[in-house]
Chains A and B, each alone.
Chain A
Amino acid sequence: MIDDIRRIAARATDRFTRRFWGPTFRCPVCHFLIAAVDADGNALLVCPVCGVVIEIESVYGHIVPVVHDVEVFRPQPKARLHPLATHLPIGLFPFALLGAAVLSVASLVGGLGVALGARAPVLADATLVLLVLAVAGAVPTLASGLWDWNRRYRRRPYRQITFKIAGSIVFLVVGAAAIVLQASGAVFSGATGLLQLGSPLGAFAAVLYLGALAGGMLIVAVLGHVGGTLVFGR
């Protein structure tokens, strides 16, 4: 089962990289996956993980990397703010999603809604607080990430980093939309704390809200994984 999930994830990653990054190769030192288009006009690039200076050449479609040098004194991430801040969205967002999921199930299964009773509005409020903290936490995460990109990676346009920046912006937009939907009272009823599925508009808002949370969760998970590879290599 876990092997199957890994295989599916690997296939999806492979399709994504082939589609959007083009030919890739692994750094021969740290095994980090690098897009060939990251190389400059002289076919040179610096591995973002281990700092080796690599020249690449494509021979019969095989990318042959040659290591020329190592960037030894690279600035470290500033006070490690980015890895610390990352834990806010990554740690809190799944629990916001969990709260919303529990309330959604309770809204659809009558018995569970009754069992939750007066605790449902409290759970809805807690979900909103978690959501706000997670999305708000993404702001310093993005800012510190940009700071690190500027210092440590010298603004080199690595595919992973540009992907992370774009993904973070999408996460902020999606997260903000979910907050607005919930805070406006369009999703959960203030009285019962459950989804307002009685009206078409309420059902539509619920679908949008849950879709935004699911999308946000996917983005957070993928960005966390990509960030992990930037730190640890393969």
Chain B
Amino acid sequence: MMDFRLSSEQQEHVEKAREFTREWISPNAARHDRSGEFPLEICREAFKHGLMNPHVPKEYGGRAERVLDHCLVMEEMCTGCSGIATAIDGNGLSQYPIILAGTHEQKRRFLAPMTEQLMFSAYAVTEPEAGSDVSRVKTTAAKVGNDYVLNGVKWWITNGSVASWYFVLARTGESLTGFIVPADSPGIVRGPKEHNLGQHASNTVRVTLEDVKVPEAYRLGAEGDGFNIAMETFNHTRPGVAAGANGITKAALNISLSYAKRRRTFDKKLISNQGISFKIAEMMTKLDAARYLTYKAAWLFDQGEDNAREAAQAKWFAADVAMSAALDCAQILGGYGYTQEMPAEKLIRDAKIYQIYEGASEIQKMIIVAKMLRLKEVH
């Protein structure tokens, strides 16, 4: 039997996130988009409301939230502003490698404090020469006594300026190894905030590591485990990213619907024109399709099953749907959709990154095909 309804607990989660979005995220979205200021005050409120660090295991003070539940929350928050939601949720990407491969001591030392007070962490994998192709990472980790000495440049690091520690992927010989690097380690240099096309509230910086000493105790797993840890992490986080894209689609849909039902043209409401109403029908249908892909990818992860293909499908499809929905929203709003005073243009700028980060859409398709190559036939 299949049940598409949310449980009462999930419905409660959604209501809570929606209320928070209406009160804190949406009203501040335009301001943070214009100023580029990191939404610390909103993160503080999100922390108080229990909307941060949802995946931390219960024994370390967290809630061990299921990925599906987290997706529901992310969709709501990104309907308000995906930049602010990324700032709130950015910790998850760097926490998961520790949840996946960390020792008890590492979890106690780095995860537990994040549930007690507002703190940030960052996933530092991408480099100027290594984006989609993670295996090209050049940052080195040389073993010196009981320490590793890290040198390299990490690029487009979300929450990089505010993080208390980083998950860093570095090269140990031929293979890649993951490390937890406290942000106050001597030799860490944080660059200025990047001026990106969208998600201006999110903090994206360059982080340079110059002879940064990291104790062996902060290495995640064995030497050479880093690549698998980094990739496994994406299976966990990609449904959440897809949910964020769904939030943008939902915002575009709501704005379009609200506008088209009220704006009059040729002596009738805008929505009375099929050219407009069909766009809205398509948006709604694509949103549902993207949601079901997202929920399935998340549900598979929660069941402990391999969700790599489904997560890639969800992330790619939801990102494309968000982009097209944002463009359609601007088209429905006409000239107003092209101005900065209406939310449509921000949605276009924000949606674009979903086709790029945490694996570009092309990479997602490569993952899907790679998984399909193992199949004899598709049922």
**Interface with B: A54-62, A125-133, A218-226, which one?**
A54-62
Q: Are B258 and A14 touching (Cβ within 8 A)?
A: no
Q: Are B262 and A57 touching (Cβ within 8 A)?
A: yes
**Interface with B: A25-33, A85-93, A172-180, A204-212, which one?**
A25-33
A10 at the interface (CB under 8 A from B): yes
Taking residues whose C-beta sits less than 8 angstroms from the other chain, chain A's interface range is 20 to 34
B342 at the interface (CB under 8 A from A): yes
**Interface with B: A64-72, A103-111, A148-156, which one?**
A64-72
Q: Are B339 and A66 touching (Cβ within 8 A)?
A: no
- State whether A28 and B31 are in contact (beta carbons under 8 Å apart), knowing that A61-B23, A64-B259, A66-B262 are contacts in the complex: no
Q: From B24, which residue of chain A is reached at the shortest CB distance?
A: A61
Distance in angstroms from B270 CB to nearest chain A CB is 9
Contacts of A27 in B (CB 8 A): 341
Interface centre among B27, B255, B259, B336 (most CB of A within 10 A): B27
A18 at the interface (CB under 8 A from B): yes
Q: Are A61 and B22 touching (Cβ within 8 A)?
A: yes
Q: Are B258 and A57 touching (Cβ within 8 A)?
A: yes
B208 at the interface (CB under 8 A from A): no
Q: Are A60 and B251 touching (Cβ within 8 A)?
A: yes
Contacts of A68 in B (CB 8 A): 263-264
Q: Are B29 and A62 touching (Cβ within 8 A)?
A: yes
- State whether A55 and B254 are in contact (beta carbons under 8 Å apart), knowing that A62-B343, A64-B343 are contacts in the complex: no
B80 at the interface (CB under 8 A from A): yes
Contact with A along B335-358 (1 / 0, CB 8 A): 010010111000000000000000
A121 at the interface (CB under 8 A from B): no
Q: From B343, which residue of chain A is reached at the shortest CB distance?
A: A62
Q: Are B31 and A60 touching (Cβ within 8 A)?
A: no
Q: Are A28 and B22 touching (Cβ within 8 A)?
A: no
Contacts of A67 in B (CB 8 A): 263, 336
Q: Are B341 and A59 touching (Cβ within 8 A)?
A: no
Q: How many residues of B contact A (CB 8 A)?
A: 28
Contact with A along B1-45 (1 / 0, CB 8 A): 000000000000000001001110111011100010000000000
A23 at the interface (CB under 8 A from B): yes
Q: Are B258 and A59 touching (Cβ within 8 A)?
A: yes
Q: Which chain A residues (107-154) contact chain B, with CB distance < 8 Å?
A: none
Interface centre among A23, A27, A57, A62 (most CB of B within 10 A): A62
B79 at the interface (CB under 8 A from A): yes
- How far, in angstroms, from A199 to B343 measured CA to CA in the complex? 61
Q: Are A31 and B341 touching (Cβ within 8 A)?
A: yes
Contacts of B22 in A (CB 8 A): 60-61
Distance in angstroms from B370 CB to nearest chain A CB is 37
Q: Are A61 and B254 touching (Cβ within 8 A)?
A: no
Contacts of B25 in A (CB 8 A): 61
Q: Are A14 and B31 touching (Cβ within 8 A)?
A: yes
Q: Are A28 and B26 touching (Cβ within 8 A)?
A: no
Q: Which chain B residues (291-342) contact chain A, with CB distance < 8 Å?
A: 336, 339, 341-342
Contact with B along A18-40 (1 / 0, CB 8 A): 10000101111001000000000
Contacts of B250 in A (CB 8 A): 60
- How far, in angstroms, from A57 to B262 measured CA to CA in the complex? 9
Contacts of A64 in B (CB 8 A): 255, 258-259, 342-343
Contacts of B27 in A (CB 8 A): 18, 23, 61
Q: Which chain B residues (251-288) contact chain A, with CB distance < 8 Å?
A: 251, 254-255, 257-259, 262-264
Q: From A18, which residue of chain B is reached at the shortest CB distance?
A: B27
Distance in angstroms from A165 CB to nearest chain B CB is 26
Distance in angstroms from B368 CB to nearest chain A CB is 32
Distance in angstroms from B200 CB to nearest chain A CB is 15
Interface centre among A26, A27, A57, A61 (most CB of B within 10 A): A61
- How far, in angstroms, from A57 to B259 measured CA to CA in the complex? 9
Q: Are B342 and A60 touching (Cβ within 8 A)?
A: no
- How far, in angstroms, from A14 to B28 measured CA to CA in the complex? 10
Which residue of B18, B23, B262 contacts A55 across the interface (Cβ within 8 Å)? B262
Q: Are B336 and A28 touching (Cβ within 8 A)?
A: yes
Q: Are A60 and B254 touching (Cβ within 8 A)?
A: yes
11 sample A-B contacts, Cβ–Cβ < 8 Å, listed by A number: A28-B341, A55-B262, A59-B254, A59-B257, A60-B18, A60-B79, A60-B251, A61-B23, A62-B251, A65-B342, A67-B336
The chain B residues found within 8 Å of chain A, CB to CB, are: 18, 21-23, 25-27, 29-31, 35, 79-80, 250-251, 254-255, 257-259, 262-264, 336, 339, 341-343
10 closest Cβ pairs, A-B complex: A61-B26, A61-B22, A26-B341, A59-B254, A66-B262, A28-B341, A64-B258, A59-B258, A66-B263, A57-B258
Extra pairs beyond A28-B336, A60-B79, A61-B22 (16, CB < 8 Å): A7-B35, A14-B31, A23-B27, A26-B30, A27-B341, A28-B339, A28-B341, A31-B341, A59-B255, A60-B21, A60-B250, A61-B21, A61-B26, A61-B80, A66-B258, A68-B263
